[in-house]
Structure 1
Amino acid sequence: MKNYDFIPQNYSVHYEQTSAVWDLSDAFLKLIPFDHEALVFCCIGTDRSTGDALGPIIGSQLNSAFSFPFRIVGTLEQPLHALNLIEKQEQLHMEFQNPFIIAIDACLGESDAIGSILLHQGPLYPGKAVKKQLPPVGNISVKGIVNVGGFMEATVLQNTRLHLTYSMGDKIVRALMLAWQRHLLKDKNNGNQNRNHTNARKQIGYADFR
């Protein structure tokens, strides 16, 4: 059973923070059930907008990483956006009986929060920043604040610096990869401990452990 207590309702870290990748990997380790049989990463957004490309950038990088074996929906080549989101969700639930979905998307916020990466227990609401009504997505939400919200949101997203979007996506990808590798290492260490314990029982005798 995972311990969710260490993550507040809205956990955030700035992408330029020195320990951003490690801190994010800690959060991902505690929130993401990497051993779930139907773990899916839905990377929402479009390559037609520099600010809204955060999800597709992350999806493409994860999809090209052979050491990251999970299902990725939403890439620069095949974006997951407002026009196909409902269809893709239906397909996922037909393909998997009970998928656990990590939803990733860009968002807008206060000026002093630009560059922050937010983790939230529960779904995100894609298109909310540009006043689109779309169904919620995800068991866990990962959002990157790429620009200021409150006025002409679509234009703001289209005029966001690609450098910011790419840099934030890079940190999220590295943190997810690190969390996955740490999960594998933890499982390996636990397996070694279990084997050592079993060997000790055989060598010493079961009666000694009653």
Structure 2
Amino acid sequence: MKAAPSSTYNYRVHFKETDAIRKLSTLLLKHIPFNSSNLIFFCIGTDRSTGDSFGPLTGSRLLELQTFPYTVIGTLESPLHALNLQQQIDETTELNPAAYIIAIDACLGKSSSIGQLLFHEGPIQPGKAVGKKLPSVGNVSIKGIVNIAGFMEHAVLQSTRLHLPFEMSRTLALALQLASNRSQSQCINNSYDNTYNENTGN
């Protein structure tokens, strides 16, 4: 897998804030190489826990967007979770060592932060909120704060209202699709400009 960039960044966008999809897409476009064919989205979580369904919900939504051109691993139908995460990492490393992985997972946080989508450089540590030791994964990470941390985290995830990760996954999937579309538009415009300059001698 490619190493993460040397600079660090950490952004937060609440899924309900004004123009959240475009704001998030701008951040994603700035830091994710959408022009690469090696992008792989690891959508981590399980459909057996409402709070932990944010990842697979996002994966399912991305697959439903038929124009989304990248590999997506982890959906409601085929979750990427504690029992198969290491195997998937190993397979990806072997088959595509140049893979640039975007890791997506639910997390817990402060009550004032619920509903925020966190985008940051570096790997994610799945299961940390509930005391599980799972392998870190991702060149960049996107986490969705679905409930409050600090007490009986496993039960908190289990009792999270499905509506919240459902809506958060919608915002994230649309932002990723928009970022992809904007990246493709930029490539087309750059190609047109280069062709025009060659033909005009500019």
TM-score normalised by structure 2 residue count? 0.95
2:116 corresponds in structure 1 to: 116
What secondary structure does 2:52 align onto?
coil
Cα separation, 2, equivalents of 1:128 and 1:106: 10
Report if the CA contact (8 A) 2:35-2:184 is conserved: no
Matched, 1:96 2:103: no
Tell me the number of residue pairs that the alignment of Structure 1 and Structure 2 aligns.
198
Unaligned runs of 5+ in 2: none
What secondary structure does 1:60 align onto?
helix
Cα separation, 1, equivalents of 2:37 and 2:73: 16
How do 1:181-196 and structure 2 match up within 5 A?
181-196=181-196
Percentage of identical aligned residues: 49
**Cα offset, 1:37, TM superposition:** 2.9
Deviations 1:158-182 (A, max 9, x none): 1111111101000000000000000
How do 1:1-210 and structure 2 match up within 5 A?
9-201=9-201
Cα separation, 1, equivalents of 2:72 and 2:63: 6
Deviations 1:67-100 (A, max 9, x none): 1111111000000000110011101111102110
What secondary structure does 2:78 align onto?
coil
Deviations 1:107-139 (A, max 9, x none): 000000000000010001000000000111100
Considering only aligned residues, what root-mean-square deviation do their CA atoms show, in Å? 1.5
Larger Rg: 1
Report if the CA contact (8 A) 2:50-2:162 is conserved: yes
Unaligned runs of 5+ in 1: 202-208
What secondary structure does 1:94 align onto?
helix
What secondary structure does 1:45 align onto?
coil
Q: Which amino acid aligns with 1:141?
A: S
What secondary structure does 2:93 align onto?
helix
TM-score normalised by structure 1 residue count? 0.91
Larger relative contact order (CA 8 Å, sep ≥ 6): 2
